[in-house]
Structure 1
């Protein structure tokens, strides 16, 4: 369960097994460990940015004053056919001390989304004696998982004519090894509410802006991969979603919606704590060795449908972007 929780936070439960190999990479020096971790985690953090940016709307028809809706929203972001995101080329010429055991100088290795296994590397000292040999980590696909899940609770309230405010959060998770929290806020403005014919128009047109912040921390001090204290990974994601939305509005039970938007986000993953190792390239204690920063942005488009049965509603939509996402929601509300 702890592995699955932190997968949600930084897009891969393979990070837990990856700690072994990334810890091993410290034998090759901090610079090599940082270079590998940057390439390994980049596609997973990008997919998480796209995934957690979804779910801000299920109609363009803003709620009237006092109307509200409480929602449980879940996203499944797939990458099964994203071969370019599941591997990267590791060229030993770019690394200070790392070498492939089979004598290769360049080959494809797995990212946190990939499934390449059995790639053995080693580090040798200046006299040519191998001091450390280990396998590079695989990724989510190696565990037969080709998706990243995200989810949260969301609330929407109608204010003045055409304006709706939104908030989302994830109940805080705080265990011995894992800490996780999410919050966000958004606005939706229904431009058709300005028109005299608002009540008879068959469609609504809105603009939506949403901000989401995710913090996750995983403590692996007791994992025994490398000696040290307070060893942990601290991940922070910040995303923005800007969308134009259109929907039907006069059908009693089922309505349809679609949106065109732009997503942008950043992630920062800090390797914190103290790390101790013996070897020619890492002989002293290192504190807070490095931080990985990534960003992603791109155009998105989605289509969906919403079913309304009194106070209870359901919606589902499919979002097309750099990483496609299926979103589903269960809602309770009054308007």
Structure 2
């Protein structure tokens, strides 16, 4: 349960590492452990980046000078039907030591999003000439095996109107700092309403804007006390960065409005496995300091459609974003003009 809570706090990423049988993987050697972990984590990092990239707009109609909005935004990025992201092909020819117990040389195995269980592998070598040492273990499964088929994110966002047609935005997740988890999120953005410069702006039924937003998530999970593997100061340091560039159009009606956007997202995740790890089983026993880092880059086109309900200064909005990973975004907003 503790690790599932961690999933919700770290966009599933550090949860994935904590599930990955780190002790067993390092028993296969550092290079094999890094190769497998990189392929295993790539889809969940991609989903996490898409998740935090959303929610930058709920209208193309820019706020006037001094107008502002405070929002609570939540994103749910689903992968239930993303079978191509739930598994990858592990070919033992790409590994130095890892072999399948069933004798196959290539087969589908689970990613951190998947639900392929019971895949057993082994490593074997002669530590002493003529005396082989063999270590068997099971490859990790993923979030779907816990009946989790989404990656969540959430934050508080504020927008303020400046000069004609321009507003700036900022988002943050208040820093959470517990005994073993630290997480924080921040971002900045800008939106410009191009229809503000048209003579018929006040009578046009629509607004058209451009939006640029940058988001960064920092997370750290200290699992020294979980006794996954002998050592000290064992922790995961994760950083997500994303840029969203979008063109947005919306209606301009008094109560219910509709909006949509077309954009491009680019992002990167960086994860450092830090601390001391002592492998005491198998033929490749060793001590590793800060064993490896993993970097994943993501980019893709996104399209969204949504609606916004105005009730005085209170607003509700929801939109659906179509991309490599689809995301449902919902917001509770308080706007003052």
Runs of at least 5 residues in structure 2 that lack an aligned partner in the other structure: none
C-alpha distance 276-9 of structure 1, shift in aligned 2 (>3 A): same
Once the two structures are TM-superposed, the CA of residue 145 in structure 1 deviates from its matched residue by 1.1
Are 2:23 and 2:279, in contact at CA under 8 Å, matched by a contact in 1? Answer: no
1:211 aligns with 2:214: yes
| RMSD (Å), alpha carbons | 1.5
- 1:81 and 1:104 map into 2 onto residues whose CA distance is 27
3-state SS of the aligned residue for 1:228?
A: strand
Range with greater deviation from structure 2 (274-283 or 152-161):
274-283
Shift of residue 281, structure 1, vs aligned partner = 5.3
Task: Say if 1:62 and 1:113 are closer, same or farther in 2 by CA, change over 3 A.
Answer: same
The within-5 A match list for 1:145-294 is 145-249=148-252, 251-278=253-280, 282-294=284-296
User: 1: distance between equivalents of 2:168 and 2:144?
Assistant: 38
Q: What does 1:1-335 correspond to in 2, within 5 Å?
A: 2-7=2-7, 8-12=9-13, 14-15=15-16, 17-19=18-20, 21-126=21-126, 127=130, 129-249=132-252, 251-278=253-280, 282-335=284-337
Q: Distance in 2 between matches of 1:223 and 1:260?
A: 44
Q: Secondary structure at the match of 1:76?
A: strand
Distance in structure 2 (CA, Å) of the matches to 1:140 and 1:165 = 36
The Cα shift of 1:33 comes to: 0.5
Q: CA deviation at 1:278?
A: 3.1
Question: 8 Å contact 2:134–2:283 — kept in the other structure?
Answer: no
After superposition, the C-alpha distances for 1:166-218 in whole angstroms (9 at most, x for unaligned) are 00000111111111000000000001111121111110000000000001111
TM-score, reference length from structure 2: 0.95
Q: Which runs of 5+ in 1 are unaligned?
A: none
Q: CA deviation at 1:109?
A: 0.7
10 and 118 in structure 1: CA distance in 2 versus 1, 3 angstrom threshold: same
CA distance in 1, matches of 2:131, 2:50: 45
Per the TM alignment, residue 284 of structure 1 is displaced from its structure 2 partner at its CA by: 3.3
Greater strand fraction, Structure 1 or Structure 2: 2
The number of residue pairs the alignment matches comes to: 333
